[in-house]
Structure 1
Amino acid sequence: MASNLLPAIHHVALICSDYARSKAFYSETLGLRIIHEAYRAERDSWKLDLEVSPGVSLELFSFPAAPKRPSRPEAQGLRHLAFAVPDVDAVITTLNERGVTCEPVRVDEFTGRRFTFFADPDDLPIELYEA
């Protein structure tokens, strides 16, 4: 049996349209811990590192005049970002209290696990998957 060549995800990188709005969404609304923030003058760009879980981070970038990437309907490329959560209903309740609307909960036909989606400030689909 072949060994897993890629044993873990280190980070996911996102380019946002409004850095301050996305920073607040990911750090305050979703509660991800800020690890490091830097302004890169040569690129006129901010870079924010957020901890998702030990050893896994989300990198948030701002770039001037970055083009939009289609995400819906199903476009090629990154489809969505998924977070494993122990209780989908509890997270939905917290997100609703923080002004985030989630889609109705569905059940994965293959695993029987419950999941839902919501959107970040740039309409990136984010999934909550009950693990």
Structure 2
Amino acid sequence: MLNLNRIHHIAIIASDYLKSRHFYCEVLGFQLLNETYRVERQSWKADLALCGEYVIELFSFPNAPPRMSYPEACGLRHLAFAVENLEQAIAFLKTHHVECEPIRIDSITDKAFTFFSDPDGLPLEFYQDGTGDGE
């Protein structure tokens, strides 16, 4: 049996690298660990961490084709982040002009969640981990 330890990273290709780096670092709070310009590929690559753990590779590539996100398409559906207080997370995103869908309740776990998009329309989710009162 294959013994996977954890997810190592998620790779995202941005249409506007600087805009997406700002979104993930300044809005969502990822830490920029390393940033490299790869001349041979005309491509930026940034390594981003969340809570000290390397999680996202953010890339730019010239003339990258757009990816279908909506309506539901086959492939990776969305990237979800656990938050302690969903209402506070939504309010924070609003201060950065990021709109969220109405809050829904997971019918299986009874937890609240919402969807929003990164600068390229990649579907992202906040999923309430706590009780909603900061615990």
TM-score above 0.5, yes or no: yes
Per the alignment, in what secondary structure is the counterpart of residue 94 of structure 2? helix
1:66 to 47, 64, 80: 64
Query: Which ranges of structure 2 fall in alignment gaps of 5 or more residues?
Result: 130-135
- The answer to whether 1:118 aligns with 2:111 is no
Aligned residues: 129
**CA offset at residue 9 of structure 1?**
1.3
CA distance in 2, matches of 1:54, 1:10: 13
Residue of structure 1 equivalent to 2:133: none
**CA offset at residue 52 of structure 1?**
1.8
Residue of structure 1 equivalent to 2:28: 30
1:92 to 90, 93, 102: 90
CA contact (8 A) 2:29 2:50 kept: no
CA distance in 1, matches of 2:5, 2:84: 22
**CA offset at residue 31 of structure 1?**
1.3
Query: Which ranges of structure 1 fall in alignment gaps of 5 or more residues?
Result: none
CA distance in 1, matches of 2:22, 2:59: 13
Please show how residues 1-80 of structure 1 align to structure 2 within 5 Å: 5-80=3-78
Post-superposition CA distance 1:19-51 (Å, at most 9, x none): 111111111111111111000001000001110
* C-alpha RMSD over aligned residues: 1.3
TM-score, normalisation: structure 1: 0.93
TM-score, normalisation: structure 2: 0.90
